[in-house]
Amino acid sequence: MLRKIIWLCLLTILVFSACNRHEKTEYMERDDSKRVMDMIIWYDIDHGSKAKNGIGWWPLNPQHPDRVKSSGLYRTTTPLLGLYDIGQESTVVQHLYWFAALGVSAVTCDWTNYTTEPGPNTKYYKDIYNNTENFLRTARKLQGNVDFPVAKLYPTVRLYEERYELLSSVLDDAYSLYEKYSDVWYKFDGSDKPFIVIFADWNLLNDEWHDKEIPFEDDRFDIRWSNGHLYDSTVVDKQGRLKIPKDKPYWLFFEEVKDEKEGYYKVLYKQGKDNKVEQMMCWAAIYNGWSQEDDSPWDGMDQLYDGKTTFERSLRDVKELSPKALLVNRFNYPMAWTQHPYEGISLYDSVHIEPNRDFGFLVFNNVMKNLQDLNNWIGRPPLKPEPEMLEGNRFSIPLINYPLEYRIGTDEDFTESEWKYININEWISYEEYLDEDGIFIQTRNAFGESDIAYVTFK
């Protein structure tokens, strides 16, 4: 009897230890061919459109960095790249490198204001189309010719009211781009069709289509329908999470359903036809969320609960549920608008992961760490720089482990040096150090600093 009890105890221990081994996450060196999930970043493709504001960007918030008080549309920061034009190849090259550094594998460009209908904004629509083509063309040019993976792209378009003929015309434009750049267009979960997302009004998604078929098809595309606030289209699963059932071809965009625990939000996910978790979303800041400021409705990018950023809290249960795709919001939307505060109101109470001139890579690095963790990749600082001399008193460095910033100086303490972002179009100039025998250089990313290297000129 005693022996039987001992064997039962041993068996119990073995079962529990096996379960623990199974549940323990095994981290590995980064390998983009072995990612846990697709990571798709929301990208505003209209920056640089002269039709937007004459110069392609809104003016800086007059109350910067505080909450906007002036009427009108403003930007809440200036990107490190300056007021760039997405119609230029160099802009897309830099962004594609940053997407790779984050761990992003796909980009959805915002076509939700795009239409083929003639009108006063025709120039703006044309710029969106041209910028998208420039992105695809640049991605194709880089694919296989750079030392980092190049993200695929698809647009998110809009169904205006129930104007299905107009939607078909917009999809014709999208498909014309796919036919030219099919090798850099995103396809989801092994589908042989180009992927696309269509925004529709809430009264259609949550009400009219609740128990009936969607009255539109386009067999050219693998389609998902989307918008924010799809809570009414969810059901509660056995764990108390909110899921969009598998019979609804919806994808999540934005939700702010608060949890009972302060600082946290209900977990929402889209269930796929195979009953697996198909898609989830996350945000660097959340409007109408938890707020520690009386005058702000935002759970801002700098706000912490339990030591976690808004982005980290919006990732609740993503690792456990392991969706096939994660929508990351959003890369470059530094918007302040008093009439529509949900678009953004200040530097931190708006959504822009892109590095900027106010706080550099602060938010970017937080996103980078978390996305690489979700793929079970070991985060590494850059390797010791090995410069390759270029014409024009410049040098390039290897991009292993994704260096993001560099500093150079005449001493190892870098006493008079400052960190600058690595522009992989122009690389690093040593023009001001030509009278020296050489310089010291160091790089860094979200995971730390590289060893210091010495570059000899003479």
Give the CATH number, domain containing residue 87: 3.20.20
Question: Does residue 11 register a pLDDT over 90?
Answer: no
Confidence at residue 3, expressed as pLDDT on a 0 to 100 scale: 42
Whether 48 is covered by a domain: the verdict is yes
Distance of CA 309 to the CA centre of its chain: 16
Q: Region 64-76: what's the mean pLDDT?
A: 97
Beta bridge partners of 309: none
Whether 18 is covered by a domain: the verdict is no
Model confidence over 142-156: pLDDT tens digits? 999 999 999 999 999
Cα 377 from Cα 313, distance rounded (Å): 20
Residues 265 and 410 in one domain: no
Residues 207 and 238 in one domain: yes
**Domain boundary pick from 374, 400, 428:** 374
Q: Check if the beta carbon of residue 76 is closer than 8 Å to that of residue 154.
A: no
Question: Does residue 219 register a pLDDT over 80?
Answer: yes
Dihedral angle sign, alpha carbons of residues 354, 356, 358, 361: positive
Residues 290 and 166 in one domain: yes
Per the model's pLDDT, the better-predicted residue between 182 and 18 turns out to be 182
> Which candidate, 267, 345, 327, places its Cα nearest to that of 70?
345
> Which candidate, 149, 155, 156, 218, places its Cα nearest to that of 185?
155
Whether 5 is covered by a domain: the verdict is no
Peptide bond into 387 cis (omega under 30): no
Between vectors from CA 359 to CA 146 and to CA 287, what angle results, nearest 5°? Answer: 100
Confidence at residue 54, expressed as pLDDT on a 0 to 100 scale: 85
| CB within 8 Å of 399: residues ≥ 6 apart | 97, 146, 147, 148, 424
Question: Does residue 380 register a pLDDT over 70?
Answer: yes
Q: How many CA atoms lie within 13 A of 72 on its CB side?
A: 12
Confidence at residue 76, expressed as pLDDT on a 0 to 100 scale: 98
Confidence at residue 19, expressed as pLDDT on a 0 to 100 scale: 45
Amino acid letter, 149:
P
Q: Region 312-328: what's the mean pLDDT?
A: 99
Confidence at residue 24, expressed as pLDDT on a 0 to 100 scale: 66
Question: Does residue 16 register a pLDDT over 60?
Answer: no
Q: Region 10-24: what's the mean pLDDT?
A: 45
**What does DSSP assign to residue 182?**
G
What is the pLDDT confidence band of residue 275, given thresholds at 50, 70 and 90?
Answer: very high
Residues 414 and 321 in one domain: no
CATH of residue 394's domain is 2.60.40
Expressed as residue numbers, the domain containing 159 is 32-374
Question: Does residue 91 register a pLDDT over 50?
Answer: yes
Question: Does residue 137 register a pLDDT over 50?
Answer: yes
Cα 196 from Cα 253, distance rounded (Å): 14
Model confidence over 431-450: pLDDT tens digits? 999 999 999 999 999 999 99
Whether 23 is covered by a domain: the verdict is no
**What does DSSP assign to residue 28?**
B
Helices (H), 249-300: none
Question: Does residue 23 register a pLDDT over 70?
Answer: no
Number of Cβ within 10 Å of residue 50's Cβ equals 13
What is the pLDDT confidence band of residue 21, given thresholds at 50, 70 and 90?
Answer: very low
Q: Region 253-259: what's the mean pLDDT?
A: 97
Number of Cβ within 10 Å of residue 264's Cβ equals 17
SS3 (DSSP) at 125: helix
Q: Check if the beta carbon of residue 74 is closer than 8 Å to that of residue 60.
A: yes
